[in-house]
Amino acid sequence: MTERLYRDDPYLLEFDARVLERTAHEGRPALVLDRTAFYAESGGQPWDTGTLGSARVAAVLESGGRILHVLDSPVAGDRVHGVVDEPRRRDHRQQHHGQHLLSRAFVAVASARTVSFHLGAESSSIDLDREVGDEDLASAESLANRVVWEARPVRVRDVTRAEARALGIAPPEEAGDSVRLVEAEGFDLQPCGGTHPRSTAEVGVVVVLGAEKYKGGSRVRFVCGDRALGAVRLRHRTLDRLGALLSAPLQGVESALVRTLDQLAASRRQVEELQARVIQAEASGLAETAAGEPPIVTRVYDGWSADDLRSLAIALTGRRRCLALLGSRAAKAHVVFAQTPGLGCDVPGLARTALALLGGRGGGRGDLAQGGGESLEGLEAALEAARAAAASAPKATP
């Protein structure tokens, strides 16, 4: 068994160890040591990083009762010197202990218990066994921060399973007969194998970023310490930029943004109404100039969406008995083919003919088919091929 030095001293960053085993993990070299200050990923807390000799520690994992130190390159020798990355270790102490305080705060203010914890690269989250509202979030955040600012001592001790149960703790099965307890004096007592500070003050501050419903409960996102400072700075910069863009003070950003969105929605409705008028006018013009028996209308537009082409094709074939072969150059080439019911053309087959030339695909049946392809330059040729196929094909009996 590897002696886990971080359990007794979560501030220990350098150590010397003897190599017990050389192995590999997913194609990378790995070492098993007699002792280590590197935290192995477990309980929602990620592994430590750093160096062993000249190699970077890429991961620290528990495997079959062993602790594997996965390296980016081999290390020679029977003994190694390890150095743990201090900023990552400090960050994990802040986030993990902040989670303990926040979880206990949710029990106190909302009778909501934590069922899982995830310490992410940018933010952390806890999953609660019941839904919580905005008032619960604010109350739990305030309570956790009061405990942080009171600088309560944090103590770690090992007890037996029986002693843990006597303290009201349900120890996890994997803990064995020795249960490691982490206590924030007078506030929280939990079994945990992670790294924690000596005082709640080291957490700095707990900031709840938001919450959403999750599996019948709530998932609460939060940051602590240095991360919280970064999150507040980012939000202030973002609000300052929004205020400048909207010509509004901080307190007026929300109302100014609502007004802007309302104006945008009104403008969008006006554009949609104008586009509908354009489509009807275009359909009328095409219907008046359509020639042949039956009339075959081909037209290519720039920038029209597939939805607009579809609306035009339906409007046109509703005004005049005809076959409409329409295309548009936008981000890709769009085609929409339609016919007046009873005309007898194989519209899906014509679409397949055009789309084959465009290197695209689509679908449809009966009187309407559409699709898209990447070849913008070949759009006119594709429509012309469909037109020729339609002109030469025998018509079905209506």
Q: What is the pLDDT of residues 361-381, one digit of tens each?
A: 888 888 999 998 887 788 989
What distance lies between CA 355 and its chain's CA centroid?
A: 35
On the question of pLDDT at 394 being above 70, the answer is no
Residues contacting residue 234 through CB under 8 Å, at least 6 positions apart? none
User: Binning pLDDT at 50, 70 and 90, where does residue 325 land?
Assistant: very high
Q: How many CB atoms lie within 10 A of CB 395?
A: 11
Closest CA to 113 of 124, 102, 98: 102
The tally of CA atoms less than 13 A away on the side-chain side of residue 340 is 16
Q: Where are the alpha helices (DSSP H) in 111-224?
A: 134-149, 161-166
Nearest to 293 by CA among 327, 320, 326: 320
Instruction: Please tell me the distance from the alpha carbon of residue 325 to that of residue 229, in angstroms, as a whole number.
Output: 59
pLDDT digits (tens, 9 = 90+) for 128-164: 999 999 999 999 999 999 999 999 999 999 888 888 8
pLDDT attached to residue 211:
94
Amino acid 398: pLDDT: 45
Looking at residue 359, its pLDDT comes to: 86
Query: Residue 344 — very low, low, confident or very high, per pLDDT cuts 50/70/90?
Result: confident
Average pLDDT of the residues in 62-83: 91
Q: Which of 347, 335, 334 is nearest to 294 (CA)?
A: 347
pLDDT at residue number 174? 67
More confident residue, 222 or 332: 222
H-type helices in 134-185, by residue range?
Answer: 134-149, 161-166
Domains of the chain are 3-84 (2.40.30.130), 90-239 (3.30.980.10), 271-392 (3.10.310.40)
pLDDT tens per residue, range 293-309: 889 999 999 989 899 99
